[in-house]
Amino acid sequence: MNYPALSLRSKALFEDHQIAIFKQTDRMFAYLMVLQWIAAILTAFIVSPRSWYGTINEVHIHVWTAIFLGGAISAYPLFFALRHPGETYTRHVIAVAQMLWSAILIHLTGGRIETHFHVFGSLAFLSFYRDWKVLIPATIVIAADHFIRGTFWPQSVFGVLNASPWRWIEHAWWVLFENTFLFISCRRSIKEMWNIAENTAKLEITKQIIEAEVEERTKELQLANQQLQAEIHTREMAERELKETQTQLVESEKTATVARLAAGAAHEVKNPLAIIRQGVDFLSSEGSSEEDKKVKASVLGDMSNAINRADGIIHSLLDVSSQSKFNPTQADINNVINQALILTKNQLDKKQIQAIKELAKNLPSLQLDKDRLIHVFINLINNAVDAMNIGGTLRLKTYIKPNDPSLAPFLKDVEDSKQIVTVEILDSGSGIPEDVLDHIFDPFFTTKRKIGGVGLGLSIVRNIIQMHSGCIQIKNRSDAQGVRVLIYFPVKENKDKKEAA
């Protein structure tokens, strides 16, 4: 702490406090002078005649003394207290005047011993200045008054016609006795004022230091905040770039899927085209017999079926490859699965994998984005195909199960559902290693990076299913080798029906 600054500030605070006390005490004595003047006049009218003559009550010369001499004594301290409060000479003038008032009141009461207590009270009031120096002129004035009047007019000060010439010393002694304690009290008060001033100065300097530290810290925080804002901006830019990269990778994954499907679709479309070509060649040949007409009609039917089949394959392929917003409509989950199987037929045939469908009938329709869900099942079927050897088995099931509270943390709006449509896919592949199983939904995690996988397939699958308020679980089969995929879609109750019920 800066000690010179502390010392200077303490001194300034002490002086301000001291001057405030001086001014406050000056005002108190200004009121007291007026009250004593009024009290002296009343005393001159009421007490003085009886004190001096016993029972005779008349206007005495002391009344004029109280009025004019008392007024003169009060005038000077009043003037200085009102015009020059807090000055050194003001409090010394007040000290002298206060002792003269004690002398007048003692005189007006005929030297009654009780009135002498006014001297001690006046000294106590003067100690309110907390300046022991004002006690010196007060003591000199009262001692001189007692000496002079005790010598020439003892009745006015001691109440007797004849008094010992040393009696004034006895009174002065008691004044000095009281002054001793008042001096000690003033010194203690001054010490306390210094302590208060020093403590206040310490608090102020400490406050200034703290405010400076706070200001400096605030600047540091503002700078740190600016840096943080810049970092946030940089991160936002990086996140946008990452999202763009993810979008590109997703599209890349989607393009790769479409490419695989296109290869299979080309093979699938090739067969209907061959049928159509053969039919065209046959229809171009001559022959108008009734038998030829029947055969031609049959050929036309085959050609129509082939065209419809090729058209369905091409439309499904276009649906999967198209970019569209999430657009759910009422749909049957079984139809979605069938379309996915059509598009993956080539991959299944290559490995001679038998696809077994166990699709429940009369399933409740769901709000589905068919194109997105076809992509989901294509991805899951392709993963199963990659994990299986030649001649494997892929089983696809759909069924209804009652609401399961254990699925509440994973399903949205499950509280509003009494039934859950379940899709189960089981393959006969090699399964998933346990150390990998917990990471299969992590973006960019893949075990197929060497063959071009980017690790977004299952991440996208889960996101699409969650968009449908559903959830997906993938685990190894307990009954045999392979993987079991469970997909749950809550069946939302019709609100209108629910309210009517």
Reported as a single tens digit per residue, the pLDDT across 432-441 is: 888 888 778 7
All structural domains of the chain with their residue ranges? 3-210, 328-500
Q: Judge whether 422 and 405 are in contact, CB under 8 Å.
A: no
Name the amino acid, one letter, at 409: P
* 487 DSSP β-pair partners: 423, 472
Helix ranges, 109-166 (H):
117-126, 135-152, 154-158
Pairing of strands 354-359, 393-402: parallel
Whether residue 170 is predicted with pLDDT greater than 70 in this model: the reply is: yes
Q: Distance between CA 40 and CA 61 in Å, rounded?
A: 13
- In this prediction, residue 182 carries a pLDDT of 92
Whether residue 473 is predicted with pLDDT greater than 60 in this model: the reply is: yes
Q: Which DSSP helix (H) or strand (E) runs through 475?
A: strand 471-476
Token pair of 367, please? 């709000």
- pLDDT average, residue stretch 68-93: 88
Q: Which DSSP helix (H) or strand (E) runs through 388?
A: none
Taken as a whole, the chain contains a residue count of 501
- pLDDT average, residue stretch 287-296: 62
- In this prediction, residue 151 carries a pLDDT of 81
Report how far Cα 180 is from the mean position of its chain's Cα atoms.
62
| pLDDT category of residue 296 using cuts at 50, 70 and 90 | low
pLDDT in tens, 214-240: 999 999 999 999 999 999 999 999 888
Q: Distance between CA 50 and CA 112 in Å, rounded?
A: 12
Phi/psi for 289 (5° steps) reads -70, 165
Q: Distance between CA 426 and CA 388 in Å, rounded?
A: 11
Q: Distance between CA 388 and CA 409 in Å, rounded?
A: 32
- pLDDT average, residue stretch 195-219: 90
What is the pTM for the complete model shown?
Answer: 0.44
- In this prediction, residue 315 carries a pLDDT of 57
- pLDDT average, residue stretch 206-220: 90
Q: How far is CA 156 from CA 48, 121, 153, 390, 401, in A?
A: 11, 20, 6, 141, 121
| pLDDT category of residue 497 using cuts at 50, 70 and 90 | very low
Q: Distance between CA 211 and CA 457 in Å, rounded?
A: 58
CB atoms within 10 A of CB 109: 23
Q: Is the dihedral of CA 400, 401, 404, 407 positive or negative?
A: negative
The whole-chain average pLDDT of the chain stands at: 79
Q: What share of the chain is helix, strand, coil (3-state, %, to 5)?
A: 70, 10, 20
CB atoms within 10 A of CB 310: 19
CB atoms within 10 A of CB 414: 21
Whether residue 454 is predicted with pLDDT greater than 60 in this model: the reply is: no
- In this prediction, residue 191 carries a pLDDT of 92
- pLDDT average, residue stretch 324-345: 84
User: Higher pLDDT residue, 302 or 363?
Assistant: 363
pLDDT in tens, 397-453: 999 988 777 777 677 665 667 788 999 999 988 888 888 887 787 765 565 544 444
Q: What is the third-level CATH fold of 328-500?
A: Heat Shock Protein 90 (3.30.565)
- In this prediction, residue 354 carries a pLDDT of 92
